[in-house]
């Protein structure tokens, strides 16, 4: 694996091998106003880690290498899902991997919902969620400590703290599902799990997000994944309670949220939250499952002085059947990343889940979510395949690293980043059409030293090649073939004039 992994879906581009029909454009870059330092790329561990962490060796380690290894995607951020967990006697109805277990032992009472005491040792089951916890250790072993960022997040309270008795939501999807007055109890559950995982695995969760996509109609009791509705008023109570519990426990963990599904719904949440709740949130998390309003999220983060993450998204283009070799999902992902970063200016970009369950042969259930397709139904027989989306994501993650700063450009399909120490420039260009493009970009300081460039491309045809530096000029020309994602890395070798 390694850059040889990247080579499987990427190759050095030969600029002499270009189609005759090409559209040219000059890309203007604002080099004077870089963004704040980028913190990195990542994925949520739900639900794939619950399944693949129980794969036999060497398969699970190979997957960890692909996602977090230096020679794989080199991700450095992981979002750990603290499961709520249904009652043991509840018949299984959650999707494969979605049944993330909670860390509690069943409380007493006739209906099994009374008397759970977080202070009692026998209230906890620390052997739970072994698959996802394996991933914590695997990630810690692969990512440099100075780059590793871990976040814990919750989709639902445990069943005995819910009004419906289920972790999938209330019978009415627009009704809050946490039992009235249980904010402190739920906060103690989340805080204790976070602290215990930190102690047992030698890690630190920088942030804890207690709710997920709260003000949506998604979470109804017959849904097949964990989720809970929270009105803005309920969100406020939860954030205030969690802040009080973390402070009382002496924990350094910061609160993030609200992990709303899209910018427009986030605006409703934020407007409806109390001032105390907003003050408790130290990192704004927003998902980008809708394109409208991204710059508005950026403005709220900037004016409130809070760190902003694009903490979850993925996509599967409409009417495109599952196909690991189809470039259309890869192109869509690349355009999503560029639009999110240029529009929102987030400090991090995090995929929903990098590994997805292989779709059914039923066309209605076929999708191209995820970077890697695996068989969740048979963990005893590990099987997985890399998709074109994996290679397209590598065009970003391999070359734009923690600490880089983004620069604004006037081209909608271009992302520009710079290493502030070395002045290395990484440029990612996506061509979603059927006509080749040539983009000209003037590099700053290029004449102060020898300039070398490497070019990497993900496209429909896999043509592995040795990745060699090629000469390039202060006015850099990037050729992008139809339906391709291209990354150019330019280095100025000062002292070699």
Domain spans of the chain, in order of start: 3-33+410-493, 40-403
Nearest C-alpha neighbor of 456 from the set 436, 427, 425, 477: 427
Whole-number pLDDT of residue 493: 74
The CATH superfamily holding the domain 40-403 is Glycosidases (3.20.20.80)
Contact 30, 353 (CB under 8 A): no
Name the pLDDT band for 114 (thresholds 50, 70, 90). low
Look at residue 386 and tell me whether its pLDDT is greater than 70. Answer: yes
Look at residue 11 and tell me whether its pLDDT is greater than 50. Answer: no
β-pair type (77-82, 149-154): parallel
Q: What percent of the chain has pLDDT over 90?
A: 82
Whole-number pLDDT of residue 14: 43
Q: What is the pLDDT of residues 367-376, one digit of tens each?
A: 999 999 999 9
Name the pLDDT band for 362 (thresholds 50, 70, 90). low
More confident residue, 349 or 463: 349
Q: If DSSP states are collapsed to H, E and C, what string results for 10-36?
A: CECCCCCCCCCCEEEEEECEECCCCCC
Look at residue 264 and tell me whether its pLDDT is greater than 80. Answer: yes
Concatenated DSSP letters of 73-128? T---EEEEEE-----TTSPP-SPTTT-PPPSBPPPBSTTS-B---TTSGGGB-TT-
Whole-number pLDDT of residue 450: 76
More confident residue, 67 or 465: 67
Q: What's the average model confidence in pLDDT over 298-309?
A: 99
Q: What is the pLDDT of residues 42-59, one digit of tens each?
A: 999 999 999 999 999 999
Q: What percent of the chain has pLDDT over 70?
A: 90
Whole-number pLDDT of residue 10: 44
Cα–Cα–Cα angle for 306, 350, 413, rounded to 5 degrees: 95
Whole-number pLDDT of residue 364: 72
CA 46 to the chain's CA centroid = 11
**pLDDT-wise least confident of 46-55, 104-113, 278-287, 398-407:** 104-113
Beta bridge partners of 353: 44
Contact 347, 39 (CB under 8 A): yes
Contact 413, 432 (CB under 8 A): yes
Name the pLDDT band for 470 (thresholds 50, 70, 90). low
Q: Is residue 344 classed as helix, strand or coil in its secondary structure?
A: helix
Name the pLDDT band for 115 (thresholds 50, 70, 90). confident
**Whole-number mean pLDDT of the chain?**
92
Look at residue 468 and tell me whether its pLDDT is greater than 70. Answer: no
Q: What is the pLDDT of residues 120-147, one digit of tens each?
A: 999 999 999 999 999 999 999 999 999 9
Which CATH code for domain 3-33+410-493? Answer: 2.60.40.1180
**pLDDT-wise least confident of 13-22, 83-92, 389-398:** 13-22
Question: To which residue do tokens 């997040």 refer?
Answer: 153
Q: What is the pLDDT of residues 172-213, one digit of tens each?
A: 999 999 999 999 999 999 999 999 999 999 999 999 999 999
**pLDDT-wise least confident of 3-17, 93-107, 186-200:** 3-17
What gap in Å lies between CA 239 and CA 273, rounded to an integer? 10
Look at residue 22 and tell me whether its pLDDT is greater than 80. Answer: yes
Name the pLDDT band for 361 (thresholds 50, 70, 90). low
Look at residue 414 and tell me whether its pLDDT is greater than 90. Answer: yes
Look at residue 365 and tell me whether its pLDDT is greater than 90. Answer: no
Contact 54, 130 (CB under 8 A): yes
* CA atoms within 13 A of residue 221's CA, in its CB half-sphere: 14
């Amino acid at each position: 694996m390694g850059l040889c992994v990247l080579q499987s879906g990427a190759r050095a581009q030969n600029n002499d091998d270009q189609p005759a029909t090409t559209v040219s454009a000059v890309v203007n870059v604002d080099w004077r106003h870089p963004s704040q330092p980028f913190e990195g790329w990542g994925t949520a561990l739900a639900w794939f880690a619950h399944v693949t962490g129980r794969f036999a060796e060497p398969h699970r380690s190979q997957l960890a290498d692909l996602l977090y290894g230096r020679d794989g995607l080199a991700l450095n951020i992981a979002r750990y899902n603290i499961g709520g967990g249904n009652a043991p006697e509840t018949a299984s109805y959650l999707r494969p991997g979605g049944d993330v277990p909670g860390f509690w032992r069943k409380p007493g009472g006739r209906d099994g919902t009374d008397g759970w005491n977080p202070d009692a040792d026998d209230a906890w089951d620390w052997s739970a969620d072994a698959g996802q916890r394996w991933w914590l250790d695997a990630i810690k072993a692969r990512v440099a400590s100075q780059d590793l960022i871990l976040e814990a997040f919750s989709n639902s309270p445990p069943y005995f703290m819910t009004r419906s008795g289920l972790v999938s939501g209330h019978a009415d999807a627009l009704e809050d599902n946490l039992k009235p007055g249980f904010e402190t109890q739920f906060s103690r559950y989340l805080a204790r799990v976070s602290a215990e995982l930190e102690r047992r695995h030698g890690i630190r969760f920088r942030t804890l997000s207690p709710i997920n996509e709260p003000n949506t109609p998604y979470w109804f009791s017959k849904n097949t994944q964990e989720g809970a509705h929270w009105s803005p008023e309920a969100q406020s109570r939860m954030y205030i309670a969690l802040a009080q519990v973390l402070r009382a426990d002496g924990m350094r963990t910061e609160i993030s949220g609200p992990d709303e599904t899209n910018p427009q719904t986030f605006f409703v949440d934020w407007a409806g939250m109390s001032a105390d709740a907003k003050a408790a949130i130290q990192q704004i998390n927003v998902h980008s499952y809708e394109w409208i309003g991204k710059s508005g999220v950026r403005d709220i983060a900037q004016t409130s002085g809070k760190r902003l993450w694009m903490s979850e998204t993925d996509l599967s283009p409409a009417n495109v059947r599952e196909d690991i070799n189809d470039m259309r999902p890869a192109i869509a992902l690349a355009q999503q990343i560029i639009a999110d970063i240029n529009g929102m200016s987030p400090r991090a970009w995090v995929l929903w889940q990098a590994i997805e369950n292989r779709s059914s042969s039923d066309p209605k259930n076929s999708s191209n979510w995820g970077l890697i397709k695996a068989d969740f139904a048979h963990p005893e027989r590990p099987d997985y395949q890399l998709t074109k989306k994996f290679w397209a994501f590598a065009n970003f993650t391999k070359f734009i690293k923690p600490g880089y700063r983004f620069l604004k450009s006037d081209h909608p399909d271009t992302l520009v980043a710079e290493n502030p120490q070395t002045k290395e420039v990484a440029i990612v260009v996506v061509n979603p059409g059927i006509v080749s493009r040539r983009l000209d970009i003037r590099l700053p300081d290029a004449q102060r030293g020898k300039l070398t460039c490497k070019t990497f491309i993900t496209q429909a045809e896999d043509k592995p090649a040795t990745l060699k530096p090629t000469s390039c000029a202060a006015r850099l020309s990037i050729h992008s073939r139809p339906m391709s994602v291209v990354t150019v890395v330019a280095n100025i070798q000062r002292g070699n004039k």
